[in-house]
Structure 1
Amino acid sequence: MRVNPDPAGTAADSPTGRARVVDIARAAGVSTATVDRVLNKRPGVRDATVQRVLKAAGELDYLPEQALYAALAPQPLRLSVLLPAGTNRFIRMLGDMVGYSQEHWAPFNVRCRVEFIESFDPHELAAALRRHGKRSDGIAVMALEHPAVREAVTELAAQGVSVITLISDLSNSPRVAYIGLDNRAAGRTAGYLIGRFIGARSAQVALIAGSLSYRAHEEREAGFLHVID
């Protein structure tokens, strides 16, 4: 809906008796230009002023009830989830579950998108963080332990975009929280179980990790070797 301010007229002057922008401005104690910005959803108006203008518009029956509810509705919370691309079934399932959950988040006014990033390219991940930071209120990411990624997260934090690390954390970064396992404990558990299976005999053990660029894999290796050694 596009509204044009009409500062000269009032409801009494209107042939239909319908309230005009000047009536809303007078009732809300603001200028007609401010009313125009609010009704056309343009930025630059404080939240308290927006609510006052919309309240006046509703009381004067300027907006239909449905349009008033739509105008009063808060902007959706925009979230992005960045996961590594590849054939890892758990990661793919996690991304799919985020997509399938959209309808459950709708009543809470939350919108979420998922993007799969080249697994071991920190510069591509940093670029994706900055790209999503321009249109997201928060980002969850399986982080690579790399200065380029850390710098991107620091920039987003300075801009007020919250970043949460998933599965693999990012050291010395202003991320809000980490969601995942205690990876050193997971490595120690694996080492303990291998030791139980091998018993007292001498044996060679192969340790396979996706990439030590992920702090999670590095911590699991450290925990494993701590027990085996």
Structure 2
Amino acid sequence: MDFMARRPTIKDVAREAGVSATTVDRVINGRTLVREETMRKIAEAANRVGYHGKGIIQGKLKTSVPEVRLGFILLKKSQEFYKNFALQIEKEVSGRPDYRIIVDIRFSSSQSPDEFAQLLQDLGRRCHAIACTAVNDKRLDPVVQRLRDEGVVVVSVLNDFAQGIRKGYIGLNNMKIGRTAAWMITKTVHQPGKLAIFVGGNRWHGHDLREVGFRSLVREVDRGFTVLDTLVNLETRQVTYEATLDLLHRHPDLKGIYVAGGGMEGAIAALREVHDIPHVALVVNELTAESRSALIDGYAVMAIATPLPELCAALVDQMVESSSKGVEGASSQYFLEPKLILPEIL
């Protein structure tokens, strides 16, 4: 229908929504209560026809739907991945017509269990449900238990923690991720040698699983590769950079590196500095500007990326549903399919 020649009216909205003009007028002026389903049809119709009062109708719809407050605890605010994560959360909740969702996003500046505990407690005082990427530390268990007792849902994201207490886990199957990284390196490298793996810390359950998966597949292929002792990089660029330079110096037969968490920028920088032409097969975690450049230039062979739109959609769905149904009931695990980024698709 072409409304370009004139300004759309209430009658146009009513016709598009399949309701009477009187019903549309009731929504706009709030004279009587109108069912939520009908209000939503009218709001969508107003948007389609370009009705000038669509903002008023949308506002009426928002005040008619239930409110839910969701809290999110992410990691380093300066990292590109977590910036994108926060933006995707905002985008996901803004598109929900069934709830008026108020979001509170916090960032942990360290891997300290005390900081995670404080953030959980702060959000627990104002949120119905909390999604958190935190270390797997027993000191967090009583915090999550208290929140559960108070009716606050806690969902672990990317790294599972407080198992048996938290409501659910949403993220990647980390054991399979580690195996995938090892599969790519052992298929890419045609001569046996040393392999290295970086993890963020000793309390990241997801990184532990990635390491186990990586080592198990290397053993299974049995092609003469040796996996060196695991290196902890605290997910920082500088530590990874210095450790990679040391690896290259001490192990001339180093054939592959897997950075299971953050800090890949340091490994990329060290490889570029030492090798004019790529000699080491590097698998990294997440696609960023730097990992994209490394893939294009041959300094990385694959990036294993988290599908943020799918993650945030599933996460908000579970948090909203759990907040309305309560904390009781079986906990769950939801594994997302990773995005495997190869140089040829960039």
- TM interval, shorter chain, is 0.5 to 0.7
Within the alignment, does 1:135 sit opposite 2:126 as a pair? Answer: yes
Aligned-residue offset at 1:146: 0.5
Q: Specify every segment of 5 or more residues in structure 1 that has no aligned partner in the other structure, as ranges.
A: 1-63
The one of 146, 166, 173 equivalent to 1:155 is: 146
Establish whether residue 186 from structure 1 lines up as the match of residue 200 from structure 2.
Answer: no
Residue identity opposite 1:182 in structure 2: N
* Superposed displacement of residue 192, structure 1: 1.4
1:224 maps to amino acid: F
CA distance in 1, matches of 2:30, 2:77: 49
Please say if residues 66 and 99 of structure 2, whose CA atoms lie closer than 8 Å, have aligned partners that are also in contact. Answer: no
**Match of residue 210 from structure 1:** 200
| Residues 165, 179 of structure 1: 8 Å contact kept | yes
- CA–CA separation in structure 2 for the residues paired with 1:187 and 1:210: 14
Q: 3-state SS of the aligned residue for 2:82?
A: helix
Give the corresponding residue for 1:34. none
Q: Which consecutive unaligned segments of at least 5 residues does structure 2 have?
A: 1-28, 35-59, 220-346
CA distance in 1, matches of 2:120, 2:175: 27
1:24-61: CA deviations, max 9, x gaps? xxxxxxxxxxxxxxxxxxxxxxxxxxxxxxxxxxxxxx
Residue of structure 2 in register with 1:10 after alignment: none
2:185 is paired with a residue of what secondary structure?
Answer: helix
The number of residue pairs the alignment matches comes to 164
Q: What is the letter of the counterpart of residue 203 of structure 2?
A: S
In structure 2, the CA distance between the partners of 1:144 and 1:66, relative to structure 1 (3 Å rule), is farther
Shift of 1:221: 0.7
Closer, same or farther: CA 131–171 of 1 in aligned 2, 3 Å: closer
Q: Are the aligned partners of 2:71 and 2:130 in contact in 1 as well (CA < 8 Å)?
A: yes
Instruction: Compare relative contact order (CA 8 Å, sep 6+) and give the higher one, 1 or 2.
Output: 2
Could you list the per-position Cα deviations for residues 134-166 of structure 1 after superposition, in whole angstroms to 9, with x for gaps in the alignment? 110000001210012222111111111011111
Kept in 1, the 8 Å contact 2:138–2:162? The answer is no
Superposed displacement of residue 107, structure 1: 5.2
In structure 1, how many angstroms separate the alpha carbons of the residues matched to 2:32 and 2:135?
45
Query: Secondary structure of 2:195's partner?
Result: coil
Q: Which residue of 1 aligns with 2:163?
A: 172
1:1-229 equivalences in 2 (<5 Å) = 73=64, 76-105=67-96, 108-199=99-190, 201-229=191-219
Q: Which has the higher strand share?
A: 2
TM-score of the aligned structures, taking structure 1 as reference length: 0.64
Shift of 1:190: 0.8
Structure with larger Rg: 1
Partner-residue secondary structure (3-state), 1:105:
coil
Query: Alignment partner of 1:82: what SS?
Result: strand
Aligned partners of 2:94, 2:65: CA distance in 1, in Å? Answer: 18
Q: Is the 8 A contact 2:73 2:106 kept in 1?
A: yes
Q: Is the alpha carbon distance of 1:152 and 1:67 closer, same or farther for their aligned partners in structure 2, counting shifts above 3 Å?
A: farther
- Structure 1 residues 67 and 137, CA gap change in structure 2 (3 angstroms): farther
CA–CA separation in structure 2 for the residues paired with 1:77 and 1:225? 43
Q: Is the 8 A contact 1:99 1:113 kept in 2?
A: no
Residue type of the alignment partner of 1:189: T
- Normalising by structure 2, report the TM-score: 0.43
Give the Cα separation in 1 of the matches to 2:117 and 2:97. Answer: 29
Residue by residue over 1:163-199, the C-alpha shift from the partner in whole angstroms, topping out at 9 and shown as x without a partner, is 1111111153311111101000110111111111223
